[in-house]
């Protein structure tokens, strides 16, 4: 009997631990948020820890947008962001990056959201924007085929640029974006996408860089790809040699200690 009781008690404790762990995981999520204001990229895959700021017991787009304003907007969310409940559309944006026009859009993982109440989870990519064209909403939401890339300095980085669109029956489709110029850290590279939306660029500086695109013929919602560029083969060899001698030095210190 005692053995059975012990087994049951252990089972209950395990279930409680799992529940607590699950609650802790659900109470916070790491989300990467990009924001553009009328064609200008103002936050590029900013990593934020999303918590339930509006008290609805779920983590949502609203919580993530609040978090990114708290993290990088001057004056925080109090100055740059607001939300309200619309009688017909539910939870809605009142202010985004200080703009109160009401001309806003937002996508999770490059899929259009239904509302601010859409759920977000660990590892999601959220893109929000203020339309440049407040009359016809012609800004084209576009995105690369990769959220992030890692490459050696001056090696080829291949990307494909696509846009969200609709077919003749208003079904969502993905379309290639041709003749858009690739930018790196806001600087035009002179490299343009082909008819299939493909482009190949090289980035020389080691470190983190933001790849985006602009178009002379249409307004793009800036796509974002974060590139981590390593120092190239020479830097890698130096790093290996340095690590090797550091290991030898540590061994000698421990040997003669």
Domains of the chain (ranges; CATH) run 1-134 (2.170.130.30), 139-232 (2.60.40.10)
CA 6 to chain centre: 47
Query: What distance separates the 2 farthest-apart alpha carbons in the chain?
Result: 79
Q: Write down the residue that tokens 């790491």 correspond to.
A: 30
What was the pLDDT predicted at 253?
55
Distance CA 143, CA 190 (A): 19
Helix (H) or strand (E) holding 15: helix 2-26
H-type helices in 47-187, by residue range? 61-72, 76-80
Beta strands 29-37 and 40-50, pairing class: antiparallel
Q: Write down the residue that tokens 């993290």 correspond to.
A: 71
Given a cut of 90, whether residue 145 has pLDDT beyond it is yes
What Å distances lie between residue 31 and 97, 158, 212, CA to CA?
A: 18, 25, 19
Q: SS3 breakdown of the chain: % helix, strand, coil, rounded to 5?
A: 25, 40, 35
Work out the number of other CB atoms within 10 angstroms of the CB of residue 158. Answer: 12
What residues contact residue 81 under an 8 Å CB cut-off, 6+ apart?
65, 66, 69, 73, 93, 95, 96, 97
Percent of the chain with pLDDT strictly greater than 90: 73
Given a cut of 90, whether residue 169 has pLDDT beyond it is no
What was the pLDDT predicted at 171?
86
pLDDT band at 64 (very low <50, low <70, confident <90, very high): very high
Distance CA 186, CA 58 (A): 35
What was the pLDDT predicted at 246?
58
Q: Write down the residue that tokens 């020479």 correspond to.
A: 234
Given a cut of 50, whether residue 235 has pLDDT beyond it is no
pLDDT tens, 10-54? 443 434 343 333 444 468 999 999 999 999 999 999 999 999 999
Across 135-153, average pLDDT: 96
Across 181-210, average pLDDT: 97
What residues contact residue 85 under an 8 Å CB cut-off, 6+ apart?
91, 92
Helix (H) or strand (E) holding 11: helix 2-26
What was the pLDDT predicted at 88?
84
| Mean predicted lDDT score pLDDT of the chain | 86
pLDDT tens, 68-82? 999 999 999 999 999
Closest CA to 225 of 152, 155, 174, 157: 157
pLDDT tens, 88-116? 888 999 999 999 999 999 999 999 998 99
Among 26-35, 145-154, 230-239, which stretch is predicted with the lowest mean pLDDT? 230-239
Across 49-68, average pLDDT: 97
């Amino acid at each position: 009997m005692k053995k059975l009781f012990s087994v049951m008690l252990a089972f209950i404790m395990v279930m409680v631990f799992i529940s607590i762990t699950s609650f802790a995981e659900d109470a916070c999520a790491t989300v990467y948020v990009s924001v553009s204001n009328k064609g200008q990229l103002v936050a590029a895959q900013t990593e934020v820890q999303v918590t339930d700021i509006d008290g609805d017991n779920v983590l949502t787009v609203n919580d993530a947008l609040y978090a990114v304003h708290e993290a990088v907007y001057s004056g925080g969310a109090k100055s740059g962001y607001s939300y309200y409940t619309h009688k017909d559309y539910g939870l809605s944006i009142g202010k985004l990056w200080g703009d109160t026009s009401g001309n806003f859009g937002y996508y999770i993982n490059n899929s259009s959201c239904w509302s601010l109440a859409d759920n977000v989870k660990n590892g999601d990519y959220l893109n929000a924007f203020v339309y440049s064209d407040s009359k016809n909403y012609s800004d084209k939401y576009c995105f690369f085929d990769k959220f992030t890339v890692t490459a050696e300095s001056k090696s080829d980085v291949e990307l494909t640029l696509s846009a969200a669109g609709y077919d003749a029956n208003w079904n969502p489709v993905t379309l290639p974006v041709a003749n858009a110029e690739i930018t790196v850290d806001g600087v035009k590279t002179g490299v343009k996408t082909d008819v299939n939306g493909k482009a190949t660029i090289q980035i020389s500086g080691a470190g983190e860089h933001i790849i985006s695109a602009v178009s002379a013929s249409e307004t793009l919602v800036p796509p974002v790809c974060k590139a981590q560029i390593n120092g190239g083969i020479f830097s890698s060899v130096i790093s290996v040699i340095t690590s090797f001698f550091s290991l030898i030095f540590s061994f000698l210190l421990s040997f003669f200690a």
